[in-house]
Amino acid sequence: MKTMRNKLAKRRSIGSILLAGWALLMTLIALTNLTDLLYSFGWISWPFRSGNVDYLTKVTSAYVSDKALSQWLLGVIVVGQFVIVAMLWRSARSWKLNKSSAARNARAALGLLAAQWFVFA
């Protein structure tokens, strides 16, 4: 009985670590995109940024030569990323605490993450 409990606790810890790892990665990505967006408006001059506004401007230049469109697109992406970040941190915490909603939260967060990568890749 004790070994089964240890196995379940170890499994719970591994799941929590994996979810926290994804949450940390997405936090860094969202922060670099946010700083790039703020840099594009001229509000900050910090070198810690993604460069995605320039990339989006280059990609959308075949259709529209307006930087505002790239800023708007990156703004939508950043909002979505911070929603995903909050969901990932919440699911990592609920997984660690062994809440009944942990698996559902994790599936929703990872599904939304996969959908965002699929749409914007």
**pLDDT score recorded for residue 6:** 61
**pLDDT score recorded for residue 9:** 60
Q: Which H or E element spans position 56? A: helix 52-60
Rounded to 10°, the helix 67-96/102-120 angle is: 160
- pLDDT per residue of the chain (121 residues) written in tens, 0 to 9: 566 556 656 666 788 899 999 999 999 999 999 999 999 999 998 888 888 888 888 888 888 878 888 899 999 999 999 999 999 999 999 988 888 888 899 999 999 999 998 987 7
**pLDDT score recorded for residue 48:** 83
Question: CA 89, CA 27: separation in Å to the nearest integer?
Answer: 9
- Please state, in angstroms and as integers, the Cα–Cα distance from residue 16 to each residue in 33, 51, 79, 110, 111, following that order: 25, 31, 24, 13, 17
**pLDDT score recorded for residue 11:** 64
